[in-house]
Structure 1
Amino acid sequence: MASLTEKVPPAVTGAVLRAVFALPGPVKRLVAGASVRRDGQELALDAQLLLTMMRLEGERRLAGGTVADARRGIARGQSYLPKAPARPVRTRAVDAGGVPARLYTPKGLAEGSPLLVFYHGGGWVIGSLDTHDTVCRYLAVHAEVRVLSVDYRLAPEHPFPAATDDALAAYEYAAAHAGDLGADPGAIAVGGDSAGGNLAVVVGLTARRTPDFALLYYPAVDMSVLRPSRDLFAEGFYLTDADMTWFSDHYCPEPRRAEPAASPLVAGDLSGFPPTYLVTAGFDPLRDEGEEFAERLRKAGVPVALRRQEDLIHGFANMWSLGGRFREAASEAAGALRTGLYAGPRGRG
């Protein structure tokens, strides 16, 4: 039976959410309650308000229950935030080496622009091109790039390594057919959030033609070891420790979780990885593994900019249209991508 939340049209829920975020700061603080501090960090009011609204709306866990319910849940959650950048973006379907994909091209972007091959998050089990549509539009507009968003196969119907196989195939297609996509074959980045960040890392380590840049939002890079942040932020901050266990159990069998294609943090040599902007969220179970990966890149001699958005939660890339701290973080990531591709090692001007 549908819950009360599911019976309310997403447009109505979204309008209420945006109205609450438009309130004055002191009123938002009254709604959200006392500030939250953990591990020497204070949760941003915007993030705390969103979590409060999610609880009031009766939102379920990100994962858990049936796969079908989890997929419907993330799709509905994203439908609350349909706002797109003001600049129009044209899209078209692409067969990327046998993998479905969607190409985003901002209005007025010249031929021969840089290209971002993007992998959506969702624990390798949920998420889709549509749940990350606004993320891709934002990056395309604000980084001045074309974005190829990859519709890789999901578990449990297609367990590991299906997603990594699709991710690599789509990237290899993009590298070989950049001109057909209107892009510069000498300025191709990989990127993704969470599980999509995992896939971007695997591609960056294994592709025949190394990407020119990597944009990694709070990547999941090690299923073989649990770090302190999995316990510190196990509950109450959107993504939970239980969610990650559910995702891992559906995606990859235990004996294979220590393979570099599943847990790229354990890869022996990272020296060939592209220059990287890696951003973590302070209140995120995945924080520590992402930051450890950035440190390993640095020690391997890879140019890496690590940024901890210490007052935000997992998933903030999808929340940019709420404004405030979410949009600030989105703007910083888009700026890093634009700089990395237009002024990167290949000397684009």
Structure 2
Amino acid sequence: MALPSQAHSATADLLTQAQRLAGDRHGSIFSCTSFLGKLLEKTGVCSEIAFTRYVVSGRKPGPDPQLWLSDARLGRVPVRIYRLRAPPAGPRAGVTFFHGGGWLYGSIASHENICSYIAGESNSVVVLIEYRLAPEHKYPDAYEDCLNATIHFMKNAEHYGVDPASITVCGDSAGGNLAAAVSQTLAGRSDLPSLRAQVLIYPGLQALDFNLPSYHQNRGVPLLFRERAAFFALQYLNGHALHMQEVLEGSHIPPDMRLKYRKWVSSDHIPEKFKIRGVKPPKSTDFIAEVYETVKRFCEPNLCPLLAEDAVVQQLPQSFILTCEYDVLRDDGLLYKKRLEDNGVPVTWYHLEDGFHGIISLYDYCGLSFPSGKRGLDSIVNFLKGL
């Protein structure tokens, strides 16, 4: 996304400074981006969201002679399609990919390197979905774009040289949330082929409890801070982040509802080995009904897939979940892994002990190289090739 024209010069200088300050490659760029975005917003140059979208929009990789890329629309949703140029021996597998970025950021450009890699290495037709972003477009717009584009792709798979029975939904971070929600919605539908699999890359799957162990252990670890996780969820839901502190404290969920969902969302279900870095029990807080009224849709599975009923979870396809140790969303993935396994769904789990949130996107980015990100990306490719 381009910045307003009057901001180009100032932004270029500030971005250069941000990159120069990035001595700690595990997040200084992001930290500087946030700081500079706030500064630009206060000075009236552009909004923090517009600046951050500009910074994270990604660099356009050089053309890959082995890949054919095309822009299209699935229904009314813009997409980019990636596939190998070499003629296939038969129909290929298909992947619909939903990019991350907290529902506010990300685009085709920001995830071109990931989708190109997956398409080339797994010999799949990858369709990268350009869904509408918050806060301009609130929930459920992003979910509906991803769902509608996936259904369109499934109904017209043969047109793209894809086997209709070999389609996987995939996404990272907020995109993992969208992939899980789409997979649940399509589960059990008789008018469509069943999804072959779902691939969830450090997904955010609930907004009831921001006090799970990983949220405190990694609260200040880039690229996703604890406060930002709540900020993104609120922006997606309401188009603003009012009551963020109450949501972080847990005052937004009624006691009876919290008790109901405790069987699925609780630190009790996190393996003890993930608590060895120390976990302090959260302070008890009073329920605030007025806050609940503004966020009660957090209890909808299309927004928080971890809350889906067992009858839905039981129908889900074979699943792959990638988690990172240094990630506030780690426990969302662990809890969903348990739910899937408890309901008889085959799960392949890959945990990056040295990984942090967003590392897949940084396996080879602007001169930075993260072997852990490359390992994670290869684990996804190997899973897809094994289907």
Q: Could you state the TM-score of these two structures normalised by the residue count of structure 1?
A: 0.79
- How many percent identity over aligned positions? 28
CA distance in 2, matches of 1:92, 1:9: 35
Is the Cα contact below 8 Å between 1:280 and 1:308 reproduced in 2?
A: yes
CA RMSD in angstroms comes to 2.8
Letter in 2 for 1:324: P
CA distance in 2, matches of 1:72, 1:63: 6
Aligned to 1:181: 160
Tell me the CA shift for residue 160 of structure 1: 0.7
Q: Secondary structure at the match of 1:306?
A: strand
Tell me the CA shift for residue 64 of structure 1: 7.2
Which of 199, 219, 222 is 2:206 aligned to?
Answer: 222
Tell me the CA shift for residue 85 of structure 1: 8.7
Letter in 2 for 1:245: A
Aligned to 1:58: 32
Where has structure 1 moved over 6 Å in runs of 4 or more? 61-67
CA distance in 2, matches of 1:192, 1:61: 28
Is the aligned partner of 1:331 residue 2:309?
Answer: no
Letter in 2 for 1:329: G
Distance 1:109 1:146, change over 3 A: farther
Is the aligned partner of 1:235 residue 2:214?
Answer: no
CA distance in 1, matches of 2:301, 2:98: 18
CA distance in 2, matches of 1:324, 1:116: 24
Aligned residues: 305
CA distance in 2, matches of 1:64, 1:197: 28
Q: Secondary structure at the match of 1:123?
A: coil
Aligned to 1:301: 344
Unaligned stretches of 5+ in structure 1? Answer: 21-30, 32-48, 341-349
Is the aligned partner of 1:260 residue 2:301?
Answer: yes
CA distance in 2, matches of 1:3, 1:164: 32
Letter in 2 for 1:51: H
1:229-248 Cα offsets, whole Å, 9 max, x none, are: 11111113211112112111
Unaligned stretches of 5+ in structure 2? Answer: 1-6, 239-294
CA distance in 1, matches of 2:208, 2:27: 32
Is the aligned partner of 1:244 residue 2:223?
Answer: no
Is the Cα contact below 8 Å between 2:57 and 2:107 reproduced in 1?
A: no
Bigger Cα displacement from structure 2, 158-167 vs 188-197: 158-167
Distance 1:87 1:206, change over 3 A: same
Letter in 1 for 2:34: R
Which structure is higher in RCO with an 8 Å CA cutoff and minimum separation 6?
1
Letter in 1 for 2:203: P
Tell me the CA shift for residue 73 of structure 1: 2.4
Q: Could you state the TM-score of these two structures normalised by the residue count of structure 2?
A: 0.72
Distance 1:5 1:266, change over 3 A: farther
Distance 1:4 1:158, change over 3 A: closer
